Chains A and B, each alone.
Chain A
């Protein structure tokens, strides 16, 4: 095993051990505020088997995951084409930019109260906010991606007699793919962040509800379980996106 992995593992183990000793054994830290490893395991098994805040871990996680995926997909489907069009046509960009610039600096989370006013506490509000959070990076990166395509390649295409449409589909869009995927990765990250926030503000169900209920019940171990689940789901979805990226962009060396 490489030295680097060993050192990393060793550090993690030492920290885990220290944590265990400080909480379970030594009682050095107030377990009302900071959970011990055994607390977390207990909370974890509770939510997996009996459920918490209205459902088991699986149902809560799937519920949140559904919202994220929906919001993300809508954002991708609306944002990427918009960004591409803005990149392809300076006229279109000039037309659309003012509205975009006005709306862009507003943090997605700041949309939550407005979304609640418009759509209440139901799913719709959350999807709207997630959509908005994921929309912006998708647009920006697609736009940059297509603008950054090496102009020599475009020239090569035109010299070979390609039509405008052909250049767009065969040169520009493939060339922009790496950046489009960078944008999608950022969109996914933003989706998860916004989901957690939206559910913390007001939710009936989902991982955010687990977190806020655990907070109200002063149940730090359950908070930790919620956070870990969010992290794991985030990592999983990111990995899936990576796999898709590798499939789509086969020409790149990884």
Chain B
């Protein structure tokens, strides 16, 4: 067991080689298993079949749209739900961090809400919004809301008391303190919360699309499943994962930019 036990770290080249080997082994085993016929073609398609299916869907519509069309439809819903969650959640979290009374009022309700799995809201969402866009947006909102509030709240608490006191002794009123001290001070935590909320929102969206099927990449998953076409299912899964990854990378990038700009080298 080398690694952190000894002071010597394995060389970069060696690690890179192992990574390549790992990737090769993974895909190799997969391909062999699929081709060997040990497992039915309806259960495990080979990597090549998956890629073919994926590329085909880029050109030919499946279940109503090309694969990128579906992804864009899903992304649009996600963006709306996420914007709503952030737009309401962050100010709420900051305000709760600043005014104890508000915190005392809202906390019990928030704690109760937190324990409800976001997808448990799907039946109500479907009942209230039918197949309209409100349903998925609501589910995404419930998924993304909690991290936004919590991180804004924690961030506000992390702001040193002295900074708030300094602002007040310089003549700042409550609103100015929130805007010019709490928000910038909490920003790293807020952005972190946005990242988590984005991920949870994306997951909730996929879940919602699985259940209340209309369009979008989740719909592709379900259609692939009912057509017993696992190569489509896996291709769609990879598309979902890739989009989620890109969203996360974009937010991580924004996070590091903000950390540097606000002068806190993290």
Which of B43, B122, B222, B248 is in CB contact (< 8 Å) with A105? B248
Which of B22, B101, B108, B244 is in CB contact (< 8 Å) with A99? B22
Task: Say whether B211 contacts A200, CB under 8 Å.
Answer: yes
Q: A87-B4, A99-B26, A192-B117 are in contact. Are A117 and B233 (CB under 8 A)?
A: yes
Complex contacts, A197 vs chain B, CB 8 Å: 117, 119, 207, 210-211
A205 located at the interface, meaning its Cβ lies under 8 Å from any Cβ of chain B in the complex: no
Give A106 to B10 CA distance when docked, in angstroms: 30
Query: Which residues from 171 to 208 on chain B have a C-beta closer than 8 Å to any C-beta of chain A?
Result: 202-203, 206-207
Q: A105-B241, A114-B230, A196-B119 are in contact. Are A4 and B104 (CB under 8 A)?
A: yes
Task: Say whether A90 contacts B117, CB under 8 Å.
Answer: no
Binds A, one of B12-20, B63-71, B79-87, B89-97: B12-20
- Residues 35-57 of chain B, each 1 if its beta carbon lies under 8 Å from chain A, else 0: 00000001100000000000000
Task: Say whether A147 contacts B4, CB under 8 Å.
Answer: yes
Task: Say whether A91 contacts B5, CB under 8 Å.
Answer: no
Give A91 to B126 CA distance when docked, in angstroms: 49
Complex contacts, B25 vs chain A, CB 8 Å: 95
Binds B, one of A54-62, A75-83, A208-216, A241-249: A208-216
Q: Give, as a whole number of angstroms, the nearest-CB distance from A224 to chain B.
A: 8
Complex contacts, B123 vs chain A, CB 8 Å: 200, 211-212, 214-215, 223, 226
Give A114 to B118 CA distance when docked, in angstroms: 22
Task: Say whether B101 contacts A7, CB under 8 Å.
Answer: yes
Task: Say whether A90 contacts B3, CB under 8 Å.
Answer: yes
Task: Say whether A3 contacts B104, CB under 8 Å.
Answer: yes
Task: Say whether B210 contacts A109, CB under 8 Å.
Answer: yes
Name which residue of chain B comes closest to A222, CB basis: B123
Name which residue of chain B comes closest to A15, CB basis: B109
Task: Say whether A220 contacts B124, CB under 8 Å.
Answer: yes
Name which residue of chain A comes closest to B107, CB basis: A8
Complex contacts, B234 vs chain A, CB 8 Å: 114
Give A114 to B210 CA distance when docked, in angstroms: 12
Q: Give, as a whole number of angstroms, the nearest-CB distance from B220 to chain A.
A: 9
Q: Give, as a whole number of angstroms, the nearest-CB distance from A101 to chain B.
A: 9
Q: Give, as a whole number of angstroms, the nearest-CB distance from A238 to chain B.
A: 8
Complex contacts, A231 vs chain B, CB 8 Å: 112, 115-116, 120
Task: Say whether A94 contacts B4, CB under 8 Å.
Answer: no
Centre residue among B121, B203, B228 by max chain A CB count within 10 A: B203
Query: Which residues from 97 to 122 on chain A have a C-beta closer than 8 Å to any C-beta of chain B?
Result: 97-99, 102-114, 116-118
Residues of B within 8 A of A (CB): 1-5, 9-10, 14-16, 18-23, 25-26, 42-43, 100-101, 103-109, 112, 115-124, 126-128, 202-203, 206-207, 210-211, 218, 221-222, 224-225, 228, 230, 233-234, 236-238, 240-242, 244-245, 248
Q: Report 30 cross-chain contacts, Cβ distance below 8 Å, ordered by A residue.
A: A3-B104, A4-B104, A6-B104, A8-B105, A12-B108, A88-B1, A89-B2, A90-B15, A99-B26, A105-B244, A106-B238, A107-B203, A109-B206, A110-B236, A117-B228, A117-B230, A154-B4, A164-B5, A195-B117, A197-B210, A200-B211, A201-B210, A211-B120, A214-B123, A226-B120, A226-B123, A227-B116, A231-B115, A231-B120, A234-B115
